[in-house]
Amino acid sequence: MIAEFGLAALWLAAAFALLQAFAGIGHWRGFSPALASLTRPVAVVQGLLCLIAFGCLIWLFAITDLSVLLVASNSHIDKPLIFKLAGAWGNHEGSMLLWVTVLSLAGAAIALFEKRLDTSTLGAALFAQSLLGLGFFAFLLFSSNPFERLDPAPPAGAGLNPLLQDIGLAFHPPTLYIGYVGLSVAFSFAVAALLTGKVGPAFARAMRPWVLLAWIFLTIGITAGSYWAYYELGWGGWWFWDPVENASLMPWLAATALLHSVAVLATRDALRAWTIMLALVAFAMAMAGTFLVRSGILTSVHAFAVDPERGAFILALLAIYVGGAMTLFALRIGVVREGKTFALLSREGAIVGNNIFLSVVLAIVLVGTLWPLAAEAMGDRISVGPPYFNRTTVPIALALMLLLIVGPMLRWRGDMLSRHKLLWAPVGLFIVLFAALMATQAQAGIWPILALALAAATALGAILPLFGRNILRTPIPVWGMALAHLGFAISVAGMAAESGWKSEKLAAMQVGESAVVSGWTVRLADVRPVVGDNWVALEGQMHVRRGDDATTMLPQSRQFSSPRQQTSEAALLTRWDGQLYAVIAAPAEGDPSGRWQVRLWWKPFVTLIWFGGLLIALGGGIALLGRVSLGWRKRARGNPWRDA
């Protein structure tokens, strides 16, 4: 009965989404006060019903109810509980139910907490949010029912992809989805603004916390996904420009541009049309990513659906929502009054430059991701891999870092560089560090050296806006901005160090033999069988030493039975200056000596990549806390519209 109860809750939520659409129209147009009064409570009830439906699915996986097709196809009676629960969204139907649940909860959050939008704009926003929900409810109920029964029920279940049986799966998809679907709020706000014509600082101040929240979760999700791929897939890389990786990066790039643009609109009443456009593009990228992952046109550990009909359904939703919104933009942007002007050399000008660079990178990634698919549809096969993305995006990213150094120090409206004596500090640091690295580490290559020098200068530039301020009176969002920019510089430093100075050793070793990589001596002391909850493995016991630092590493080659699949479990040794990464595999066929295949990497300062990512998200969290607390204080004083 749990499955039927969950399905009933899902149908009811869809019905409430339809009612919310009508109530939202009444709220927006003001023709029915009685209907308008239902808008907020209906949105809240819809969110609760979706939460109940998703809770039912979680429970079905927890008890391994194999009479439900989704559970039987993606779980197993012997699987650990944490992976049973994570399996609820480690598949197509479950992940789409999670998507719809987050979408409905976002609408409920607007209804409960949004007090700054005027009545008509709020009604139009909830109307737009309900239309988004209706399309995805239809997709779930008619194309991807997560509660479909299976008769007869199998005795054990097919199990979950072993690569997804990792604790990272419990955090990566939900955080990424909150970011993805959180952008729906910005989309609905933008549609509402186009419908009402009310775009200004008050509107931007209402939108900014929602954009910031979505951006924070996108950052966490991408950072967690990168680290999961790094240690779980066993290939030693932290980013491979996989199409599904790109599908998560593109909304983040658009959201980053939107976050800066909405700050200009909120603070200085400029970039009105551009902000609306970015809000539409950001959610369009989230929708495009959803289509790529679930259409069946990609082959990836992330890609769940292989049914072309489902892909066609999502493509239709993409065309309706994004095409409709862009058409609305073309028809209604003329009613949005032009914002205030500013000089090219100003903080607004730097943010426009930031937006342009981010948009160019977004276009490069979008073309590189979609072009092979378009070529294949026309009967040709081409491959677009890391060389294309690295050569095109790295120079633009480095130019963007220059703006991060200068932009936060510039004044609004207009400025002169000669006023900012502190700017010489990061410039001098860059020149000295770049020259020193070129003289001593030229073998690393020009791009890693340039990136490392710019990262150091950007890190210094991130904290320069704090100089000369009263620390106790500095607004909290300024601290958040500084920390986020510092985190970006730290991530780039980790990327540069790993790219330019990593070492790799591939060896065929018998027990007792040793290999050396970047000063680390690694001896294969033993290989022994080990048994886990639902796998068996051959585990290598490696004694590693660098000077007085000695320890043991235990990489594994695992064999899962449900489903049958072999995986490599890397062993990581983390030190202040980097990570030693070890993978072991069985002897190659036809090798009479029985030597084990061992792969070793030394990756200097690679952990800075993910530490910086977490600092970026933390900076966003601090800025969000500052904005929310500022809004509370203003409402307490009875003036919610005046900016700080």
With bands split at pLDDT 50, 70 and 90, how would you rate the model's confidence at 636? low
Q: What are phi and psi of 599, to 5 degrees?
A: -125, 130
Residues 6+ apart with CB under 8 A from 284: 254, 318, 322, 325
Give the mean model confidence (pLDDT) for residues 232-246: 87
3 state SS of 353:
helix
Predicted pLDDT at 567: 86
Measured between alpha carbons, how far apart are the two ends of the chain, in Å? 54
Stated pTM of the model: 0.92
pLDDT digits (tens, 9 = 90+) for 243-259: 888 999 999 999 999 99
- By CB atoms closer than 10 A (0-12, 13-18, 19+), residue 418 is exposed
3 state SS of 166:
coil
Structure tokens at 26: 């009444």
Return mean pLDDT, the chain: 89
Q: Which residue has the tokens 């977490």?
A: 614
Instruction: Enumerate the domain spans of the chain.
Output: 1-170, 201-416, 420-502+611-644, 503-604
Predicted pLDDT at 299: 53
Give the mean model confidence (pLDDT) for residues 153-180: 80
Rounded Cα distance, 209 and 270, in Å: 18
Q: Which residue has the tokens 């729906």?
A: 184
Helix axes 243-268, 201-232, angle to 10 degrees: 150
pLDDT digits (tens, 9 = 90+) for 472-498: 788 899 999 999 999 999 999 999 999
Residues 6+ apart with CB under 8 A from 293: 244, 247, 300, 302, 303, 304, 305
Nearest CA to 623 out of 192, 266, 272 is that of 266
The helix (run of H) or strand (run of E) holding residue 143 is helix 119-143
Q: What are phi and psi of 597, to 5 degrees?
A: -85, 115
Give the mean model confidence (pLDDT) for residues 45-55: 97
What is the three-state SS of 77-101? Answer: CCCCHHHHHHCCCCCHHHHHHHHHH
The helix (run of H) or strand (run of E) holding residue 266 is helix 243-268
Structure tokens at 452: 């490392």
CA dihedral for 236, 247, 189, 270, sign (positive or negative): positive
pLDDT digits (tens, 9 = 90+) for 514-547: 999 999 999 999 999 999 877 899 999 999 999 9
Predicted pLDDT at 473: 84
pLDDT digits (tens, 9 = 90+) for 576-594: 999 999 999 988 776 677 7
DSSP track, 583-595? EEEPPPTT-TT-P
Nearest CA to 106 out of 162, 51, 56, 171 is that of 51
The rounded percent of the chain whose pLDDT value lies above 90 is: 62
The helix (run of H) or strand (run of E) holding residue 565 is strand 564-569
User: Distance between alpha carbon 215 and the CA centroid of its chain, in Å?
Assistant: 8
The rounded percent of the chain whose pLDDT value lies above 70 is: 94
